[in-house]
Structure 1
Amino acid sequence: MVELDGEGRAVSLAEKPPQPRSRYAVTGLCFYDASVVDVARSLSPSARGELKITDINKDSLASGESQLQIMGRGMAWLDAGTHESLLKAATFIESLEKRQGLKIACPEEIAYRMGYIDADQVRALAAPLAKSGYGDHLLRMLEEVVL
């Protein structure tokens, strides 16, 4: 969990605290430069013999190198660390895709909508997938008007 100051900057991190100081969790989607290897080498294993990513994040926070991005409304972070949580995440994604007729994290669609590829490139990518729901989605996407 991350504690924020009055301006929304991270001031402390705690792994699974009994009394969280905020409602914001560090999701685990973190990006580091090469110096993280030296930080990881300096860590001591926890009582369970694990190296904790929270310790790397605490080092980054202490050095002033951390940048925090709050996930806004309409975004979800799904834990998939156990068989049960992976199944729950898969069921959640399946429900969204079926009810909304959309694909979650479709790289071709994202690239097309951001202007990285054009419609002809999408058609070429969809061609080998023509008999699957994924290929159908890509071709339907080209016909839709996005508001």
Structure 2
Amino acid sequence: MKTMHTILGFLGLIPFIGLSALSIANWHAADFMLASYSALIISFLAGALWTWTLVKTQPTWLSVVSNLIMLVSWLLLWLAWHGAGANIFFALAALLITLNLVEYQQLKNEIPSNYLTFRIRLTLIASLSLLSAAVLN
């Protein structure tokens, strides 16, 4: 795996960890910032999954799933804006984990295993950050 991808991947965790800590410390703006960052990352990853259906022979339903995941993340962002509270983080973590599982299951033979291991680590840290914000908030 390329070093720049590794660096960018870990840098992408800083908002998850930092905003979760600020959310736990009851800085109210952190809740929406964390929810919106999560929704953006989920949409980005869903778009990357959708791209695989264009360049590789993947099942048609994978395109639909990637779009549904993006739409659910958008809905969760809307709910966060309207004060759904910290429980929204449970849903975002579940969505992030689901996306990772779908990607792993469908692309495990297409993508280098070190990338999938890396993505699992990133997803685990991001999801634990979201769950910490939900439980400790």
Structure showing the higher strand proportion among its residues:
1
Structure with more contact order per residue of length (Cα contacts < 8 Å, sep ≥ 6): 2
| Common fold by TM > 0.5 | no
TM-score by length of 1: 0.22
Larger radius of gyration: 1
